[in-house]
Amino acid sequence: MNIKEYISTGILEAYVLDELSSTERIQVEKDLTDYPQLRVELELIETTLEVLMQTASVTPRARLKENILSLAGEGAKQGRIISIAVSPMWRWAAAASVVIALVASYLAFDYRDKWISSTVALNDLIDSNQQIAQDYNNVNQRLDKLQNDFSIIENNAFSKIILKGTENNPEALASVYWNSASQEVFLSIQQLKELSAENQFQLWALVDGKPIDMGVFDANSAGLLKMNLINNPDAFAITIEPRGGKASPTLETMQVIGMVNKG
Amino acid sequence: MVAQLKAKNKVALNYLYDHYSAALNGVVSRIIKNDDLAEEVLQDAFLKIWNRIDSYDPAKGRLFTWMLNLARNQAIDKTRSKEISKGKKTDDIDNLVGNADKQNSSEMFVDSIGLIEVLDKLPDDQKFVVDYLYFKGYTQSELAEDYDIPLGTVKTRLRMAMITLRSIMNVN
C-alpha cells in the first residue's frame, strides 16, 4: 500500500470526523493496526484537532457542571437509623414495617437493575439504528449520484468531448460533458496515471486562446465529477499540477486534450 | 483515566468536565446559536459520554476525539430536529467564524479570539471547510452537495487544512 497516497486522500480526517461508512471504517481500523505509520499520522491529526478545539473553547455557564454531575450520579439514597423507645405493640409494628421496607428496597433495587439494563439495551439499539440510518443514507447518496450521472450522459443538451492522450501519455483518456446552455461541465476519467501525493490533475478550458482553471481532482475519483462552469470553450485539457492546482497550466505536463466540436 | 470513567468514578467525570467542557462547548455553541439549546445539547453530550463510556475503545482513537464526535453529532442532530430551523443555509460564504461569533454578542465568546486568529492564517478554501465542518455543523457530504464541491476535494482540503494548522499551532 502507498501510505503517502492513502493519507493524502484525507481518509484519516474523515475517520476522525466519524464520517466513513461502516465498511470503510472497519477497513481503516484494520489498516491502522497493520501500518504503524498510519497510527502516527492519526495521532498527529487528533492532537492538532484537540489543540484547535482548545483554542476554540467557550466556557459554559457554571450551573451546567452541577446539573451534569447530579444527573450522572442519580443513585440509591442512604437510609438513616432512628431509635424509638416504645411499647411491644409498636415493636411488632416497627418490625413489620422494617420487613416491608426491606422487601420494598429489594424490589426497588431489582427494578432499578432491570431499568438500567433495558436503558443500556435501548442505547445499543439507538446506536445501531443510527449506524443503519447512516449506511442507508450513504447508499442512497451513491444511488442519487449514479442516477444523476446517468441523466447527464443521456441528456442531449450535453455534448461529449473526448480528451485523447498527448505524447506525454498516449494511453490517457478522459471525457468532458459540456452543456452550452447551462455552462455546466462534468468530467469522466477513463484512464489517467497514478500521481504522487504532492500532485493533482487540473482541468483547463481554452477560451479565445486563454486557459481557464476548471478545478482539480484525483485520478481515483469515481463517476462524473462536477467541474467549474464555462461559456463557449474551444477545447479542454488536463495537466499535472502541485496539489491544490495553479493559476496557469504547466503545458509540459499535459496529459490529454480534446477540441469542442462546434458544428 | 478511561478505566476510572468505566468504573463510573465521578471524580473522573469531574476531571473530564473541567478539562474538556469548554472545548466541546466551543463546537456545540457555534453550531447551535441558541444559548439554552446549546447548553441542553452539551449536557446531553456529557451524559452520553458518561453512560456510553463502555463503548469507547482507545485502540480506535483518542478519548477527546470520541467525546468531540458525540458532542458534534448531538449538535448536528439537534439542528435537524424540528426545534431549530436550519437558517444556516442562507449564510453568506464570507460569513466565516469571525462574523458568526460577533452575532453572538454574549461575553462567552471573548475567549475565542484565538480561534479567529488561527483560522485567519489558513488559505480561504481550507478555512472554509474547517469552519463549516467543525463550527457550522455540516457533514462532508452536505458540504459537497450544498456548495457544489466534489466530495474528494472536501476531503483533501480538510487534509491540507489539518497540515497547515499543525504548523500554525506547532503540533508535533
pLDDT digits (tens, 9 = 90+) for A39-96: 999 999 999 999 999 999 999 988 899 888 888 876 323 334 445 556 778 888 888 9
Residue from B11, B16, B18, B21 whose CB has the most chain A CBs within 10 Å, to mutate: B21
Question: What pLDDT score does B27 carry?
Answer: 94
| pLDDT computed for residue B112 by the predictor | 59
Q: Which of A164, A202, A129, A72 is nearest to B48 (CA)?
A: A72
pLDDT at A173: 94
| C-alpha–C-alpha distance, residues B43 and A61, integer Å | 11
Nearest residue to A194 (alpha-carbon basis) of A175, A177, A213, A169 = A169
* pLDDT more than 70, % of chain A: 95
Per-residue pLDDT, B12: 87
Q: Is A165 helix (H, G, I), strand (E, B) or coil?
A: strand
What are B121-133's pLDDT values in tens digits?
999 999 999 999 9
Strand arrangement of the beta sheet that strand A225-227 belongs to: A210-217, A199-207, A235-242, A256-259, A158-165, A173-179, A185-191, A225-227
> Mind telling me how many Å the CA of A107 is from chain B's nearest CA?
23
* A228–chain B Cβ distance below 8 A for any pair: no
Residues 58-77 of A with CB under 8 A from B: 58-61, 64-65, 67-69, 71-73
Give the model's pLDDT for residue A145: 87
Integer Cα distance of A44 and B64 in angstroms: 13
**B111/A29 Cβ within 8 A:** no
Tally the residues of chain B. Answer: 172
Cβ neighbours, 10 Å, residue B167: 11
Rounded-to-integer distance, Cα A204 and Cα A212, Å: 5
What pLDDT is attached to residue A94? 85
The answer to whether the pTM exceeds 0.80 is: no
Q: What tens digit of pLDDT does each residue of B43-94 get? A: 999 999 998 998 999 989 999 999 999 999 999 988 887 555 444 444 443 3
HSE-CB of A172 using CA atoms within 13 angstroms: 23
**Beta bridge pairs of residue A207:** A210
Q: What is the average per-residue pLDDT within A6-28?
A: 93
Q: Enumerate the domain spans of chain A.
A: 3-54, 158-259
Beta carbons of A180 and A161 less than 8 angstroms apart = no
Please report which confidence band the pLDDT of residue A196 belongs to, taking 50, 70 and 90 as the band edges.
confident
Cα B113 to its chain centre, rounded Å, is 16
Tell me the ipTM for this assembly: 0.85
Nearest CA in chain A to B73: A18
**Min CA distance, A90 vs chain B (Å)?**
42
pLDDT digits (tens, 9 = 90+) for B26-47: 999 999 988 889 999 999 999 9
Q: Look-up: residue for cell 422494617?
A: A98
Q: Which residue has the higher pLDDT, A193 or B86?
A: A193
CB-based contact, B4 to chain A, within 8 Å:
no
**Mean pLDDT value of segment A175-197:** 91
Mean pLDDT of chain B: 82
Report the Cα–Cα distance between both ends of chain A, in Å, rounded.
47
Q: Domain spans of chain B?
A: 1-85, 86-172
pLDDT exceeds 60 at position A124: yes
- Does residue B3 carry a pLDDT above 90? no
pLDDT (average), residues A129-145: 88
Segment A26-35, tens digit of pLDDT: 999 999 999 9
Angle at CA of residue A20, ends A214 and A241, nearest 5° = 25
**Is pLDDT of A249 > 80?**
yes
Q: Are A158 and A190 in contact (CB under 8 A)?
A: no
Cell digits for A257? 486534450
B55 at interface of A, judged by CB pairs closer than 8 A: yes
Q: Do A57 and B13 touch (CB under 8 A)?
A: no
Question: B87 to chain A nearest CA, in Å?
Answer: 22
Query: What is residue A13's predicted lDDT score, i.e. its pLDDT?
Result: 96
CA A41/CA A104 separation, integer angstroms: 56
Contact (Cβ atoms closer than 8 angstroms) between residue B20 and residue B28 = no
A106 pLDDT above the threshold of 50: yes
Three-class SS of residue A161? Answer: strand
Would the CB atoms of B112 and A57 count as touching at under 8 Å?
yes
For residue A76, give the H/E element and its range.
Answer: none
Q: What is the pLDDT of residue B89?
A: 41
Domain B1-85 carries which CATH code? 1.10.1740.10
What's residue A74's pLDDT? 61
Rounded percentage of chain A residues whose pLDDT exceeds 90:
49
Please state which architecture CATH assigns to domain B86-172. Answer: Orthogonal Bundle (1.10)
What angle is formed at CA A20 by the lines to CA B159 and CA B143, rounded to 5 degrees? 60
Q: What is the pLDDT of residue A86?
A: 61
